[in-house]
């Protein structure tokens, strides 16, 4: 593993979820020699190897997630929170199997929930 890959993977284990902008800023703080395109290539390769997953924030930015297991995300302001509920996932899978997806194998279900702090 190259030093750049190791650095980015270790950074992601610290961050858990992070926007591409934050990842690039943190990488370049540690090593200004690492280019933006290198960061993108490494993150893409980690996603292809299922070490990371890419999630779309409602604001359109890509976020990267270190947890490759099936789970959902709650977006609250600029935070991303994992929501793990195997029962909910199973209910959705069963519902989809009975509808127009009955001839498909559903590999993964990931729901993005957008929330805001309640106003008093």
pLDDT in tens, 9-55: 999 999 988 889 999 999 999 999 999 999 999 999 999 998 998 88
Question: At 118, is the pLDDT very low, low, confident or very high (cuts 50, 70, 90)?
Answer: confident
Name which CATH class applies to 3-65: mainly alpha
59 vs 13: CA distance, rounded Å: 23
Cα–Cα–Cα angle for 105, 67, 78, rounded to 5 degrees: 110
Q: Is the pTM of this model over 0.85?
A: no
Task: Tell me the pairing of strands 72-76 and 112-115.
Answer: parallel
């Amino acid at each position: 593993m190259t030093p750049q890959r190791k650095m980015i993977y270790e950074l992601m284990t610290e961050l858990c979820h992070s926007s591409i902008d934050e990842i690039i800023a943190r990488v370049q703080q540690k090593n200004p020699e690492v280019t933006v395109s290198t960061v993108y290539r490494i993150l893409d390769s980690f996603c292809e190897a299922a070490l990371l997953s890419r999630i779309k924030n409602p604001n359109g930015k890509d976020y990267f997630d270190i947890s490759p297991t099936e789970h959902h995300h709650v977006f609250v302001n600029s935070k991303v929170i994992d929501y793990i509920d195997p029962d909910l996932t199973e209910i959705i899978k069963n519902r989809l199997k009975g509808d127009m997806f009955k001839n498909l194998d559903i590999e993964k279900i990931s729901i993005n929930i957008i929330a805001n702090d309640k106003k008093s």
